[in-house]
Structure 1
Amino acid sequence: MRGTRAGKLPLVSQPRPQDLAHKMAELARSVAVPRTTEDIFAEVTKAAVELIPGADAAGILLIRKGGKFESHAGTTDLPHRLDELQHRFQEGPCMDAALAEVVVRTDDFRRETRWPSYSAAVQEFGVFSGLSFRLYTKDRTAGALNLFGFQPTEWDADRQTIGTVLAAHAAAAILSSQQGEQLQSALMSRDRIGQAKGIIMERFGIDDIQAFDMLRQLSQEGNAKLVDVVQRVIDTRGR
């Protein structure tokens, strides 16, 4: 890695406006086309390295309920290794962005004091700057889009704006995935309730409304979840 004179950060060229507009249009179209969450994550991290000067590697960190770390869509294996460092030290910019701050910026890890153990360790990997963006997620998942530079880098307003837009795309992918899972779960529950009602209607000669009332009453009296009562009724079929 080429060094820089003390107090001066390297000059890097900004992306042309037409390049930025073209890439953003591609990402916007990708949201409307069926893709996996991981596909969209990969597109976002690739775009971050292409569009943001000084970003030599990028990845996405998700922190699940209970503190489980997940590394996604690293443009190299470096982001994953740095996520492991933060998990070990329980400190670092990606954690702070995922759990608390909207944007976390480090122009030079040699001068960073917020995370002493992590900052010293990343320099051994040749990383001297970083920029992290909180993903606007909710419920049980927190996350961040993370950029890493092999030189000290001045992460100016233009770079931060591009990163914020890309983080919003990644967050939309997470939310869409969660909503899809919830919808699938709801449809499966509705189907099982219909099966249970049909069994009760046939067995006791009652109508649809009475069958559902019976299920609800069994749930209340047994202090059990409705889905559990429904499954027990389905399991009695054929007996």
Structure 2
Amino acid sequence: MTKKQLPLDELSGAIGRILGLLLTEEKVDQAVQNLSLAIKESVPGTIGAGVSILDSQARRTSTGFTDSIVEQADHLQYELGQGPCLTSWAFEESVLLDDVRTDTRWPEWSAAVSALPIRSVISAPLMANGHSIGAIKVYASEPSVFDTAAVSLMELFASPAATLLSHIQSAETPKRISEGLQTALHSRDMVNRACGILMERHKITHERALQQLILQSRNKDQSLQEVSAELVAGIPADRN
């Protein structure tokens, strides 16, 4: 499939429109919904888009999606504790998935969405003040629809959007920010180190190690950073 890139003037207009939507918004839930709709219209080849703000246990505090397909695909990620969006959020880097049916990084999630018209995925972290507060993602119905140019486009949208979303959320619910978002400001290096320990100990993949950390975080009601730090420090945080 031929990949289309936005002309510079069209790109500038798309970014400006997205920022304009967020600048006029006062509620984070409506802001993430507006952002998901704008991203779908701006990224070529996209059939659906979503936005998630996450707490320290990788649970969504706010979410926006363009349709039921995105809603189902996202729900399955957070239910299973694995998927491109969670990986993007935890490791603070963009994830490009060429084909859900052949990629082996998230086997349970890939199997769960096999009945949905989803083949290609991009997920980019929402980085505010140097930390990941969530992720944006787009889906396509054919394999290999997205490329590195599309990843760069998503990152262009994500950077200013994250700053504005964090301001909206902070102004809207100071308690949620202090108790949720602040504890989610985890260290990518710490999470990576903890994943490395689990990979070596159990001979598992990077993504499987992350899934274990996320599930432990939820079970223990601790942040992903706290679980990772305990493991790195030698405390057996990987026990069920």
TM-score per shorter chain, which class? 0.5 to 0.7
Structure 1: give runs of 5+ residues left out of the alignment. 1-9, 186-239
Q: CA–CA distance in 2 between the matches of 1:66 and 1:161? A: 27
- Partners in 1 of 2:54 and 2:89 — Cα distance? 7
CA contact (8 A) 2:21 2:35 kept: no
Stretch of structure 1 that moved more, 64-73 or 112-121: 64-73
Residue equivalent to 1:58: 49
In structure 2, what is the equivalent of residue 27 of structure 1? 18
Q: 2:96 is matched with which residue: 98, 105, 108?
A: 105
The answer as to 2:88 corresponding to 1:114 is no
Show CA shifts across 1:83-105 (max 9, x none): 22112322111111111141011
Look up the equivalent residue of 1:98 and give its one-letter code: W
Q: TM-score, normalised by structure 2?
A: 0.63
Distance in 2, Cα, partners of 1:159 & 1:93? 15
Aligned to 1:136, what secondary structure does the other structure show? strand
- Give secondary structure in 2 for the equivalent of 1:109: coil
Please give the alpha-carbon distance, in whole angstroms, between the structure 2 residues aligned to 1:155 and 1:171. Answer: 22
What amino acid does structure 1 have at the position aligned with 2:159? Answer: A
Of 132-141 and 75-84, the range deviating more from structure 2: 132-141
Amino acid at match of 2:66: T
Q: 1:157 pairs with 129, 148, 153, which one?
A: 148
Is the CA contact (8 Å cut-off) linking 2:21 and 2:31 kept in structure 1?
A: yes
SS of structure 2 residue aligned to 1:123? coil
Determine if contact 1:44/1:166 at 8 Å carries over to the other structure.
Answer: no
Corresponding residue of 1:233 = none
Is the aligned partner of 1:73 residue 2:73? Answer: no
On the 8 A contact 1:135/1:143 being kept in 2, the answer is: yes
Kindly provide the CA deviation profile for residues 198-231 of structure 1, in whole angstroms up to 9, marking residues without a partner as x: xxxxxxxxxxxxxxxxxxxxxxxxxxxxxxxxxx
CA–CA distance in structure 2, aligned partners of residues 101 and 113 of structure 1 = 20
Matches for 1:81-230 after TM superposition, within 5 Å? 81-137=72-128, 142-181=133-172
Contact 2:40 2:49 in 1 (8 A): yes
Whole-angstrom CA distance in 1 between matches of 2:72 and 2:146: 22
Tell whether the 8 Å contact from 1:92 to 1:115 is kept in structure 2 after alignment. Answer: yes
Q: Return closer, same or farther for 1:93/1:43 CA change in 2, 3 Å cut-off.
A: same
Percentage identity across paired residues of the two chains: 23
Deviation at 1:170, TM superposition (A): 2.9
Ranges in structure 2 where 5+ consecutive residues have no aligned partner: 177-240
Alpha-carbon distance in 2 for matches of 1:52, 1:141: 22
How many aligned residue pairs are there? 176
Kindly name which structure, 1 or 2, has the bigger radius of gyration based on alpha carbons.
1
Secondary structure at the counterpart of residue 42 of structure 1: helix
Higher RCO structure (Cα 8 Å, ≥6 apart): 2
Q: Report if the CA contact (8 A) 1:91-1:115 is conserved.
A: yes
Length-normalised TM-score, structure 1: 0.64
